[in-house]
Amino acid sequence: MKFKLSTFTAALLLGTASLSTQADETCASPYMAKITGQEDFIYVWTLGAEGVGDEQDKLVTIDVNPKSGNYGKVIDSLSVGGRNEAHHSDFTDDRRFLWAGGLDTNKIFIFDVATDPAKPKLVKTITDFVAKSGGVVGPHSLYALPGRMIITGLSNNKDHGGRTAVVEYSNAGDYIATYWLPTDGNLQGAIKSGKYADGYNYDIRALPRKNLMLTSSFTGWSNYMMDFGKMLNDPEAMKRFGNTVVQWDLHSRQPKKVLDVPGAPLEIRCAWDESHNYCFTSTALTSKIWLIYQDDKGEWQTKDVADIGDPSQVPLPVDISISADDKSLWVNTFMDGKTRLFDISDPFHPKQVLEQKIGAQVNMVSSSWDGKRLYYTSSLLANWDKKGADNEQFFKAYSWDGNKLTEQFSIDFTKEKLGRAHQMRFGAYALYGQSPK
């Protein structure tokens, strides 16, 4: 299968002067084609669960346009075969194809979402990711660059630990290169600025205007595929978490500096305003918000700027979402099932302004570009989700008026025999010059 370089992609290759608003979901790549106005669909990358429906991982399409007769309903479900530890997904820069990864089997599934946005079609499955990449395991974040998909790995096939790499593919699904994370033994030309150079990886984001790419760090296959309770009680396992954010040269893919961010920094969210040279991350184990910022000398630094809940209770911060105006940061905590809103108008002093329980457990949060709609899902990892009655598996849609978060509808993924709802991406007919059918 070959994909043509889109006009949109070609234009981006010529210049990046006005990239600061080219996204709808506020976590999306600045290189990505944009939804203007109301999104029509949410695509939920869903883990198959034993004894639930066909037990397979699947891409679930939900109608989220209030003007639609199918509003609030699942309108399509496409199973991919087996359970792969479905985790993250994202679009190519022209947004015609959605890539979705499996952390256990290392498969990458490519869906055509442009031909019929209401009914995605699986058009290619990459099965040789480990071999092509030189031993990278656990394709996690899939991130669009012009004509490229950048994929963070979480592990390796030698010891299944956290030592790993960033892997580059063409939009056509062809392997291009592997870039290993800096370690004490091989800094790859980077400067070690603090205590750590662990070589771990998790998320990836770019600030094109600063020629900046950032990666965060998590843990390897031996931990993320382990039962959560067992892992928490294993002192050696708890030592195997990342403590770094790496600064990269975006264009050359060269690591430049290893920054200390202890406690497993997960999602990275960068400010959108062209005068705001900073990004945020949160640490899962220490429950803190960290600021990654450019100082007065042009050097990138990190700083712990706020607690999330009571860190002594380990609420386990997971997904975060920055608002398009850089004034707010939504933070989800898995263990207490809450979402919190922080005022980040002063990025060095975030202040919590809202706290609300979403469910017994909550993982992902996605915000519309206008900030009026937020969506939540429940599953973290198959072996880390809660047990029994607390194993709620849902998709929930909320409205936000600037003061109050109001639930619009909820879908019980267990009752609907769909599985464990994990990560979300937005879809719209208008992206492809289509009207609702």
Mind listing the pLDDT tens digit for each residue in 70-117?
999 999 999 999 999 999 999 999 999 999 999 999 999 999 999 999
Give pLDDT tens digits for 215-251.
Answer: 999 999 999 999 999 999 999 999 999 999 999 999 9
List, in sequence order, every beta strand (DSSP E) within 185-295: 191-192, 204-207, 212-215, 244-249, 254-260, 265-270, 278-283, 288-294
Q: Which residue ranges of the chain lie beneath pLDDT 70?
A: 1-24
Closest of 209, 272, 266 to residue 24, by C-alpha: 272
Which is it for strands 97-102 and 244-249: parallel, antiparallel or unpaired? unpaired
d(C-alpha 166, C-alpha 199), whole Å: 11
Return the structure tokens found at 343: 């005022």
Cα separation values, 70 from 58, 61, 126, 436, Å: 20, 11, 33, 11
Q: Report domain extents, the chain.
A: 7-432
- Which strands sit side by side in the sheet containing 254-260, from one edge to the other? 191-192, 254-260, 244-249, 212-215, 204-207
* CB distance 268 to 204 below 8 Å: yes
The 3 state secondary structure assigned to 140-205 is EEEEEECCEEEEEEEEECCCCCCCCEEEEEECCCCEEEEEECCECCCCCCCEECCCCCECCCCCEE
pLDDT at residue 1, as a whole number: 45
pLDDT at residue 6, as a whole number: 40
> What is 7-432's CATH topology?
Methylamine Dehydrogenase; Chain H (2.130.10)
Return the structure tokens found at 3: 């994909």
Instruction: Give the SS3 label for residue 84.
Output: coil
d(C-alpha 86, C-alpha 218), whole Å: 17
d(C-alpha 255, C-alpha 246), whole Å: 7
Give pLDDT tens digits for 280-322.
Answer: 999 999 999 999 999 999 999 999 999 999 999 999 999 999 9
Cα separation values, 2 from 109, 123, 124, 337, Å: 15, 10, 10, 42
